[in-house]
């Protein structure tokens, strides 16, 4: 296939390595000339993916028309806050019926749309899918065995994307539950911030396990209200992604939360991590969705108070553990 990848960050670069290994003709785009120049000079994402080399066959460009024209598949690997702008700029070069897979995670705060919804709104002539799951770029780039899920309302598009990416190191499942996949992939970043805070405060595995379990409960509660499927939140893009993001040293969201637990401000933590911390951008949107759909999400609420209202991380945790007693799940008697 001819594949255009928009976004030369760590995740976009890792996926390019997988696509090139599958024999595809791949072009990688970035809006940042210095990013493309560095990749051209080193064939490596320094310093985030050391040792993971881009094959010489991969073309590099800063020209949107080049990366979008006459491609069998377009991969949107763009940070959530830039997805709409990039889609608007790319639209004139994208053909009717073009297959697109979004691999980013996030919710647009102003509209509360998921990223595939943003792309579909801006480029309605396309068939859009989402790829998500427990998949750190650091490991995918080194071909460490990984399993993810691709979701699309069009089964043909889901199978097409599956065929493009799947190999002996990168197993792809398919699903029709696009909204469930996107909510799991986005909201777990907010819970991962909280898990990092727990570690930064010096609490133990028990505390983090409680937070993760109740976190997936909150995500599922909202996801079902929005039309997602229960099985999705128990799967790769739900609990699978939550586990890896809450527990791994590769996780920028966990690492930022850890620093916040240690007393850093949000701005200081993000500067220290030196990468986009999607959970910070998603937290407000998650709270707004909870309010819109009248869903109880106390962990999400407390993360927002810590991030944006000056509440101490310790006070937030104390609040969560001192809430009124209740059943573990709805419907018990």
Alpha carbons 109 and 18: distance in angstroms, whole number: 31
Q: Is the peptide bond before 135 cis (omega within 30 degrees of 0)?
A: no
Q: Who's near 281: CB < 8 A, 6+ residues apart?
A: 80, 81, 106, 109
Alpha carbons 211 and 287: distance in angstroms, whole number: 17
Give the bridge partners for 102, in sequence order: 76, 130
Residues composing the chain: 333
Is 229 assigned a catalytic role?
Answer: no
Q: Who's near 317: CB < 8 A, 6+ residues apart?
A: 197, 198, 201, 203, 207, 302
Of 58, 62, 50, which is closest to residue 21 (Cα–Cα)?
A: 58
Of these residues, 188, 208, 229, 287, which one is catalytic? 188
Sign of the Cα torsion 60, 33, 92, 158 reads positive
108: how many CB neighbours lie within 10 A of its CB?
A: 19
Alpha carbons 140 and 132: distance in angstroms, whole number: 13
Q: Please state whether 182 falls in left (phi above 0), alpha (psi between -120 and 50) or beta.
A: alpha
Task: Using DSSP bridges, classify how beta strands 127-132 and 59-61 pair: parallel, antiparallel or unpaired.
Answer: unpaired
Identify the helix (H) or strand (E) that includes residue 175: strand 170-175
Alpha carbons 281 and 83: distance in angstroms, whole number: 13
Enzyme catalytic residues: 188
């Amino acid at each position: 296939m001819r594949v255009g990848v928009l976004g030369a960050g760590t995740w976009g670069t890792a996926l390019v390595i997988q696509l090139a290994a599958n024999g595809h003709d791949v072009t990688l785009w970035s809006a940042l000339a210095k990013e493309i120049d560095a990749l051209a000079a080193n064939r490596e994402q320094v310093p985030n993916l050391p040792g993971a080399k881009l094959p010489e066959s991969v073309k590099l460009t800063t020209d949107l028309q080049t990366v979008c024209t006459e491609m069998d598949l377009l991969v949107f690997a763009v940070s959530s806050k830039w997805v709409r702008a990039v889609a608007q700029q790319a639209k004139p070069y994208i053909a009717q019926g073009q297959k697109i897979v979004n691999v980013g995670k996030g919710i647009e705060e102003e509209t509360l749309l998921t990223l595939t919804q943003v792309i579909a709104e801006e480029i309605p002539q396309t068939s859009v899918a989402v790829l998500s799951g427990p998949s750190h770029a650091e490991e995918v780039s080194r071909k460490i065995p990984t399993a993810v899920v691709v979701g699309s309302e069009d089964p043909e598009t889901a199978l097409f994307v599956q065929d493009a990416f799947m190999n002996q190191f990168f197993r792809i499942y398919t699903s029709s539950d696009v909204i469930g996949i996107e909510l799991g992939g986005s909201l777990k970043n907010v819970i991962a911030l909280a898990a990092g805070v727990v570690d930064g405060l010096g609490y133990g595995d028990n505390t983090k396990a409680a937070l993760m379990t109740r976190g997936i409960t909150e995500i599922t509660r909202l996801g079902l209200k929005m039309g997602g499927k229960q099985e999705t939140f128990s799967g790769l893009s739900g609990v699978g992604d939550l586990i890896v993001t809450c527990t791994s040293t590769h996780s920028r969201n966990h690492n930022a939360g850890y620093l916040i637990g240690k007393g850093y401000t949000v701005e200081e933590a993000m500067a220290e991590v030196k990468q986009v911390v999607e959970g910070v951008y998603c937290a407000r949107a998650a709270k707004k969705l909870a309010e819109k759909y009248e869903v109880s999400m106390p962990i999400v609420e407390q993360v927002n108070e810590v991030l944006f209202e000056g509440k101490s991380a310790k006070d937030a945790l104390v609040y969560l553990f001192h809430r009124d007693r209740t059943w573990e799940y709805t419907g018990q008697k």
